[in-house]
Each structure stands twice: as C-alpha cells, then as structure tokens.
Amino acid sequence: MSDEQAQPKNDQPTPNTKLKEMRKQLAQGGGQGRIEAQHAKGKMTARERVEKFVDPGSFQEILPFMLHRHSDYGMDKSRTISDGMTAGFAKIDGRRVCLYAQDFTVMGGSFSEVAGIKLAKLMDMAMQAGVPVIGLSDGGGARIQEGVWSLWAFGELFYRNTLASGVIPQISIELGPCAGGAVYSPAITDFIIMTKNTSHMFITGPEVIKSVTGEEVDFETLGGASTHASISGVAHFAAENEEHALETARILLSYLPSNNLEQPPPVDPVDDPYRMDKSLDKLIPTAPNEPYDMREAVEKIFDLGSFFEVHENFARNAITGFARLHGQPAGVVGQQPAILAGSIDIDAADKIARFVRFCDAFNFPVITFQDSPGFLPGVAQEHGGIIRHGAKIVFAYSEATVPKLTVITRKGYGGAYIVMGSKHLRADIVFAWPNAEIAVMGAEGAVNILFRKNIKDAADPDTEHARLAAEYRDKFSNPYNAAAGGHIDDIILPSETRPRLIAALELLRDKQTTLPAKKHGNIPL
C-alpha cells in the first residue's frame, strides 16, 4: 500500500493520534493558566505530585477519560476529562500502592460524582489486592453544582474508608484546602500529613464562623498544619512543604505492612543486637521528681536512627512512634517525664489508645516505656471526660493480641501503672529498671491518707510526716516488692534493655492468642 493510500480520508485523525491528543488534554487539567496559578502558590499539580511521589514510570491510571453528566448552573459547558480526580496504582520504593490526587486546576478540586466513582473502584481494588491507599488532597469540598450526587460520592468514599480500616493502611496527604465533608475521609484514615502554610482542614471556614459566632480567625490559625499537629491532634505530621510531605509518607510506608495479614517489613540489621549503652544506667535522676527525656532512652535502645515519631507535637507528655529492633519494626509508646511529669491527660489518652489499636491491627509488637505519676488532676480534665478517655487506653491494651513488652523506667503509680501495658492487662513480659517505684501513689500522698491522725497528733508533724514517707518509700520505691509478687518478670539494668527486648521479641514472634467471639467491642469513644 502506498503512503497516499495509507492516509486517512477527509484529514480525519487516526485513532492513535486522537488518543495522544486526549492524553495531552489530561496532562493540561484545567488549562495552562490554572496550572501557572497553582505553581505561583508554590504547589504542584495533581499529576506532577503523583509522578514525583511514585517510582518513575510505575503509575497506571484508571478511568482517566470520565466526564461528569451534570448540566445545572452551566455545568454542561464545563466538562474536563478526568474531572479533577487522578486515580490509579503504582509502586513506591518497589512496593505496590493505590493512590489518588485531587486536581485543583479543575473547578478548584471540588469532589464530584465522577470522583466518587473512581475512588470507589480504587478502594475496592486496593482491598482486594491488599495494598495501601494514599490520598493527595487539594480541593474545596463537595461540588455544589452537583447537589446530592457529590454528597453520594463522599458517602461512598467514607463507607469504604471505614471498611478498609484495619485491613489496609490508609494515608492522607493534605496539600491544599480540605473543608466541610471532605475532612471526614482523612479523619477516618490511619495517618494525616499536612503541609505548613498551604494545607488547611476545617468543618466551617473563617467567614462562616464570623457570621455565626462573631469570632475572627484566619485560615492558618483555624485549620493550618501547625494547629492540627499540635492542638487538635487531627494531623500526625506537619511537613515544611510538598516535597517534605511526600518524603514523610515514603518513610512512614517503609514501616507499614501492605495489609493486616502481613508482618511489618523488616530491614537487614546493621546495629549490634548485643549493644549496651552504659549511659542509660545514668539516665534516671536521683531525685524522684526530676525530669529526663524518655526519647533519649528510646533512641539508644532501638536500632540507631530508626525511631520515627508519630504525633510528635501533640500531647507531648506521651510519645508514640515506630522503631526497629534488630531490623524488626515495632510500635513504641512512652510517657515523657519532661512534659507534665509524664502524667496522662485527655489528649495523651487519645493519642496512646489510637496508636496501640493501629499497631494491633497491623501486627506491630507494642513496646511501652512507663514512667507516670498518674492521670493529670484538675476540674477541666474531669469535666472533659478524663475517665472516658483514660478508659480508651485500658481498652486498647486489653484487646491487643500482638506481643506486648513493657519497661517500667521509674514511676508506676495507681491507675496509670495498670493502663500502661502492665501484666494485669496481659503484657507478655514486663521489665523494671532498679529505680522503678510501683505503688498506688507517691509516698507523700500515701502517708497523708494512711497516717493522717498520727501526723496531726505528733509533737512535730513535719518530722513525723517525713519519717513515715521515708518508710513508705523504702517499701515501695523499688521494684522488688512487685517482683516478689510476680507482677514484673525481671529487674534489669537500663543498659541491658536492648538485648533483653530483642530476645523477648524473638520468642514472641509467632505469638498466637484469641479474643472472645463477638461482632466488636464497644470502646468508650
């Protein structure tokens, strides 16, 4: 056949040419002008983010040519292929993932019926394949012009977020506005990463708040990354920029299994499992009320450089994060004596309980470092429901069936001792450092209750109080009384903690236990 005969008639493009043109349109999103506006804000487009995030050439898009079917309010004249939602699957550091990205250049990234259809298919695929789902959010909420259909779309996503919870990891990366109903999908997911100055999350914006309550507040103060990472606890990480947000997600993924039937992925160990850092033997101050940094213990006990803190700036009197012991990932929970003396308040209770439940869902051993004088007292705490919130920790530790190891570094007082991974909530192994104090309360408070009349009637009440307190401390300000009762498994030097934990985890690696048959428990939310 001659070249002339091969040419299409009437100058019509070939099917291949048309497909290439359609792909060019996809890449343009809402048009060059809107792409430039996005760049001017220091933000990438949806497709640029995906390409930067995943392994080169690995992204496979699904349903790229969908168009919305609505016509009200001029929608019939505003149709863009893909409709502002990029969805598909790819690999990140060689691991399979499903992901989606809202395109702010198309109608402000508003969530449409098409978006709901795409994400319903994506979530179903992810659950069937057993791979994580990552959402890159940058949109203004439900598409008003579509009415109930945009609300249907969100409902489909929320429902699948809930079904996927505890089955596959779900990560939300907030890279722009996230308002109204749009905030609930990230809130259901396991982790939220926000970017400072460019991402915002709120149910109602500053203008609505001003009109209803008279309060004046700017976007950043109301729902910025720093606010949600430190005050509300909605965000687990506050990234400096988009690149940092994507890198944070990559690091987080490196600790997570792909689904609840897998173990967290190990790495080749490079740190000596028998390493014993002698500086740990001097970490605990002589004075019982003097603070120290629990992070120092964590960083020296686990594989060097492996501690990846979660919720670092929220409820800082508690520590949560992932780390590795001889290459094996574990969930780390600790109390921070440097903040509020490590006491448990409402926010710390929520932070700890949520993290322990995630670890249990995805097969992370939970290693707890306990040093707490108790629950934080006060009218605000009581009226805010510290009883209900504290009970969440009891529930989380009690229902967890993964290996549970606890190290009591100093204080284990009262209810706080029980809830923080004690033997009584079925911890597998509990170690205590020589400084450990395990008692209902501190010596001063205890003798005030036990010997109130004796102290009052004494010739020198202060001297009598000091004497009785010293006797109480001599009895309970060490771990040997608890060890004699079998409530702790061994007393160890702080420097011995690393090899002892590694050995315990090796034993418990294939731990099997079951809970009573039931539909689900009723955690005190």
d(CA 520, CA 518): 5
Choosing from 139, 181, 321, 414, which is the catalytic residue? 181
Choosing from 130, 155, 415, 445, which is the catalytic residue? 415
Sign of the C-alpha dihedral computed for residues 99, 105, 106 and 112 taken in this order: positive
Can you point out the beta strands (E) in 373-488?
404-413, 429-432, 437-439
| Residue 399 CB burial class (10 angstroms; 0-12, 13-18, ≥19) | middle
Closest to 325 measured CA to CA, from 360, 281, 273: 273
d(CA 185, CA 135): 9
Structural contact between residues 198 and 242, judged by C-beta atoms closer than 8 angstroms: yes
d(CA 103, CA 411): 51
Q: Is 416 designated active site? A: yes
Closest to 111 measured CA to CA, from 148, 78, 77, 76: 148
Q: Is 415 designated active site? A: yes
Can you point out the beta strands (E) in 304-428?
308-310, 318-325, 328-335, 366-372, 404-413
Choosing from 318, 323, 416, 504, which is the catalytic residue? 416
Cβ-proximal residues to 497 (8 Å cutoff; 6+ apart), any chain: 280, 297, 301, 407, 431, 433
d(CA 254, CA 401): 23
Q: Is 374 designated active site? A: no
Q: CA torsion, points 99, 257, 235, 155, in degrees to nearest 10?
A: 50
- The alpha-helical segments, DSSP class H, found in 284-330 are 294-301
Closest to 29 measured CA to CA, from 107, 137, 105: 105
Choosing from 130, 147, 155, 180, which is the catalytic residue? 180
Angle between helices 242-255 and 46-53 (to 10 degrees): 40
d(CA 435, CA 425): 22
d(CA 376, CA 383): 12
Q: Is 180 designated active site? A: yes
Catalytic residues: 180-181, 415-416
